[in-house]
Amino acid sequence: MSKPSKPLLLQKPNATPLPPGMQEKLAAFAASKRGATPGVDATTAALQRATLSGPSDIPNLRPANSFPPPRPRGGGMMGRRKPNFTLKDIEGGGGASGAGLGAGRPPVRTDTAPAFSNFSKIVDLSGALNFSGKAVLHADGVDFSNGASFQINMTQLQLDEELGRGNYGTVKKVLHRPTNVFMAMKEIPLELSPAKLDGIIMELDILHRAVAPEIVEFYGAFTIESCVYYCMEYMDAGSLDKVLGIKTIQQGGGWVGELGEGAPEDVLGRIASSMSRGLKFLKDNLQIMHRDVKPTNVLVNRKGEIKLCDFGVSGQLDNSIAKTNIGCQTYFAPERIQGTTAGTDAQEAFNTYTVSSDVWSLGLSIIEVALGRYPYPPETYNNVFVQLQAIVHGEPPQLPEVKSSSDVDPLEVQFSEEARDWVRICLIKDPAQRATYADLLAHPFLVADSQREVNMMAWVAGALGRRELQARLRRELLETADGTHEPLSV
């Protein structure tokens, strides 16, 4: 790892700068606070009056300067060897209410006010962000409305490698120097879009409340200039699809085989159990649907722990139905594609779904983990229309009784009738007949998992070793196809 060219304290984050027009208006706004109003145009003057004294026209949004200043913070991370920043012990009770976050997802805004006006009601002159009166983010951490706070800032962090890019931003590995603990830091460029601002507070809300062994732990958040940063638990083996090496190699336009190494049944049961418990926790305790269940959103560490992540598109349950059509089409349930929800017209049905849609995505993910490849035929991989037609009109995929694990290791792998039936009840076409999380956890397949020891650490270590071999084989294949390298011996 290369060291930064100058001390981290002096470096600015790799962030998106504010547009020049916004900078000018913020400068004018700052001048008005000092009484220097001459020369300000009528639009900016009106914006100043609305920001300084006018009521907010956005639901649940208070002017930043009306939020009480955070009380002085003491303690923090310096005295701790291991970070433990979840808010389950906050005064006033657990969950969102105890932390002043309320119980619900931020409402979808329908106002037509200028984007800058919306933004100016959230940001103050110091650069702190006041999200709907629920939390204030600043350069040194996050303060919740009851005075509870997480202290963490960029000067404490040493940047390492980039881990990936998600729906809302970039994730980097960082070292928290006061505790010598690695974390995953998510960098989110702050945009004027109300939907983006809602997404930030929504994910912050979920991360803060989701305290469970099957959910990545939240360590804190802060803001610098035009970016928001979340610090979360670093899962050192990566996402489930990368651990398994799920990837199909293409040579000369043809499919030459999948190098993914599927999981054996005992490991498959442990993964299915962890994912089911995590999704049930979100539903039962937070009334949250994940809405983007897939192997890339399941993280693994070298201790063998399995945890859900990426709540950027999660939705709050509203009378058992959540609206908006967001997620990855590859893992969509048939009803999300077809729009067959009872009691709605076609357009509304297309945009609505229930918890059972996540159950379908769970079942599809487990088959992919078992086989080491996406379970629909290869001809659907590059044609979204054909893929959606296969999901809606074709027979649901099944977990085979016997499979050949891969071309690298052509041993046959057996799957029990219990494992196959568990997947089957996840992938019932009719969502009303599909299994619930309680059904899945009470199924003999997962009951057996709870009664046996599974050496997940050894499986993760072996899977990572195979992944390195697969990467080498991919390089060999591509270099040979280009005529730039002789085949390597294995």
Catalytic residues, by residue number, are 292
Q: What is the spatial distance between Cα 281 and Cα 483, in angstroms, rounded to a whole number? A: 52
Q: What is the spatial distance between Cα 330 and Cα 376, in angstroms, rounded to a whole number? A: 10
Q: Give whole-number Cα distances, 228 to 136, 153, 188, 225, 388, in Å.
A: 11, 11, 5, 8, 36
CB 242 within 8 A of CB 375: no
Q: What is the spatial distance between Cα 413 and Cα 15, in angstroms, rounded to a whole number? A: 48
CB 171 within 8 A of CB 183: no
Q: Give me the phi and psi of 99, to 5 degrees please.
A: -95, 5
Burial 167-195 (b: 16+ CB within 10 A, else e): bbbbbbbbbbebbebebbbbbbebebebe
Q: Give whole-number Cα distances, 66 to 63, 122, 316, in Å.
A: 5, 10, 28
Q: What is the spatial distance between Cα 445 and Cα 218, in angstroms, rounded to a whole number? A: 31
DSSP 82: S
Nearest 5°: the CA angle 192, 197, 203 is 155
Beta bridge pairs of residue 402: 414
Q: Which amino acid, 111?
A: D
Q: Give whole-number Cα distances, 104 to 17, 90, 194, 197, in Å.
A: 31, 19, 17, 15
Q: What is the spatial distance between Cα 333 and Cα 359, in angstroms, rounded to a whole number? A: 9
Q: Which amino acid, 179?
A: T
CB 119 within 8 A of CB 22: yes
- In DSSP notation, 421-467 reads HHHHHHS-SSTTTSPPHHHHHHSHHHHHHHTS---HHHHHHHHHHHH
Cβ-proximal residues to 205 (8 Å cutoff; 6+ apart), any chain: 96, 101, 105, 134
